[in-house]
Structure formats: C-alpha cells, structure tokens
C-alpha cells in the first residue's frame, strides 16, 4: 500500500547528502593493487581473486553510506584504544619512530603483490603483565554479538580471518623485527555497543601462516593464468555467497 502522505524529514534529506558524499569519497580512493594480508583468510578464494584483480562489484553492492560510517567509527575507536594502552604503560608504536607521518609497520613480498600493514608493535609493557616483547598488536571493533562470540571462543575460532592475518604478519615481519614470531601477539577487540575491551594473547601459528602464504601465492598464480579457483559453496544460497559483492558475476560463470 502506497503512503501518499509520507514526506521525507530534514534528517532523512541531510543523511542522504552525507552518505552520498561518503560514497563519492570512497569511490575516488585508488584501488588496492595487491592482495592484503588482512584479507587472505577470507572464506572464498574466488572472491579474493575478483578482489585482487579489481573486478567491478555487482550493481548496488558497493558499501552504502551507513556502512562507511561504521568503518570510520571503528578507526576512531582504534585511535582511542592506542591512547588507553599507552596510558596503561604499554610502549606501543603505530608508526616507525612513533612519528605520525612515519611509515606503518608491515611487510611486502612477491614483488609487492602481497602486503600487510600492522596496527602496531609493542616494545615494552609493565612487568606485571609478563608480556614478551616485541609483540604484534592488532585491534578490531565489533558489534556486541561478535564481541561476545570472540570472548567466548577466542579469535582463532570466532574470527579465523583475523587469526590468519596475525599469523601472516608474525611470520613475514619477524625478519625485520626479530622476536615478533617468538612472542604472542596482543589482539584487542572493542565492543562498539558497550565499550567493553577484550584482550587476547595469540601464539604464533606457523602451520596457519604457511597455509595462508601458500593460499596467497595460489591466488596470484591462478589470477595471472586466467584460471578461476573453486567457489566456496555449491549452492548460491550459502550465507557467504548471499553477502558477496561478486555473487552475480561469480554464479554467471561456469565452475
């Protein structure tokens, strides 16, 4: 039934303008021309191929303004977490030399086609914490449901994509920061709904790091050869496929 009396409020109209500006800004960002270490643990290798190759997303599958606002809030909360941990006595570096304009800590392999940028490196901590240093620091923000799941099950079970990221970073960055793979990483999760904090020490998983490294190379080689890797699922109704921005493209192609 049509509501001919409905009129858009001032808030609706202003939000439309805000979201349009955010979407324009996001669309103008240069495309990432490498496979990010934070993405290698994604469930579907074919989706990673599309992403790496810069394939256009399905119509209407770009991030809406509200999602971009959520991302922006996450960045602000991460900045707050840095302040909180430093106030607690952690010697936390987010840039080389702790210079705001300095380079991020990270790695680049395969001719720069596989890269990663760490949230931070912990160089020191209060003795009472018994935290081995140097240690990788990774921070994620989550809604209450995901946060509770992460607290209950641990990052490796609840968020395997984050666990893969941590393992890769520890493996690839150990050469430039000796000891990074020997000491557990500190994973911080912020509950965006309640401001609760979860901290977890993540021991280096060499087997996971190797699998993810092999996976990244497999994706590069298959993409270079014009070969499509298998889909995650056999049915388009799989929940990962329903959320995939390349679903129409993917399922229009032969397996």
What band does 103 get if pLDDT is binned at 50, 70 and 90? confident
d(CA 249, CA 27): 20
pLDDT score of 4 more than 60: no
pLDDT score, position 254: 63
pTM: 0.91
pLDDT tens digits for range 207-222:
999 999 999 999 999 9
Cα separations in angstroms, 167 against 171, 182, 218: 6, 11, 18
pLDDT score of 140 more than 70: yes
Q: Which residues pair with 136 in a beta bridge?
A: 121
Q: Which of 143, 129, 250 is nearest to 201 (CA)?
A: 129
Q: Which residues pair with 188 in a beta bridge?
A: 139, 199
d(CA 89, CA 87): 5
pLDDT tens digits for range 172-190:
999 999 999 999 999 999 9
d(CA 38, CA 175): 19
pLDDT score, position 157: 97
pLDDT score, position 5: 58
Which of 31-40, 64-73, 245-254 shows the lowest mean pLDDT across its residues?
245-254
Considering the chain, what is the average pLDDT of its residues?
A: 93
- Please compute the mean of the pLDDT values over residues 91-106 and round it to a whole number: 86
- Please compute the mean of the pLDDT values over residues 121-149 and round it to a whole number: 97
d(CA 152, CA 146): 10
pLDDT score of 255 more than 60: no
Q: What are the structure tokens assigned to 157, written together? A: 């079970």
Give exposure, 173-192, as e/b (b: 16+ Cβ within 10 Å).
Answer: bbeebeebbebbbbbbbbbb
């Amino acid at each position: 039934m049509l509501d001919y009396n409905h009129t858009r409020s001032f808030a609706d109209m202003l939000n439309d303008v805000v979201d349009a500006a955010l979407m324009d800004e996001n669309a103008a960002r240069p495309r990432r021309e490498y496979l990010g270490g934070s993405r290698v643990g994604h469930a579907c290798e074919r989706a990673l191929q599309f992403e790496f190759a810069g394939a256009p997303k399905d119509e209407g599958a770009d991030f809406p303004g509200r999602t971009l606002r959520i991302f922006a809030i996450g960045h602000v909360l991460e900045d707050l977490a840095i302040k909180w941990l430093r106030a607690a006595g952690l010697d936390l570096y987010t840039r080389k030399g702790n210079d705001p304009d300095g380079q991020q800590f990270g790695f680049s392999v395969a001719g720069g086609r596989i890269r990663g940028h760490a949230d931070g490196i912990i160089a020191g901590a209060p003795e009472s914490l018994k935290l081995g240093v140097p240690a990788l620091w990774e921070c994620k923000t989550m809604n209450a449901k995901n946060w509770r799941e992460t607290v209950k099950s641990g990052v490796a079970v609840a968020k395997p994509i984050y666990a893969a990221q941590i393992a890769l970073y520890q493996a690839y960055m150990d050469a430039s920061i000796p000891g990074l793979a020997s000491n557990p990483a500190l994973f911080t999760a912020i509950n965006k709904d309640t401001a609760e904090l979860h901290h977890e020490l993540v021991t280096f998983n060499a087997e996971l790091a190797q699998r993810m490294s092999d996976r990244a190379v497999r994706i590069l080689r298959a993409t270079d050869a014009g070969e499509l890797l298998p889909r995650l699922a056999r049915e388009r109704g799989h929940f990962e496929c329903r959320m995939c921005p390349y679903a129409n493209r993917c399922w229009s192609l032969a397996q």
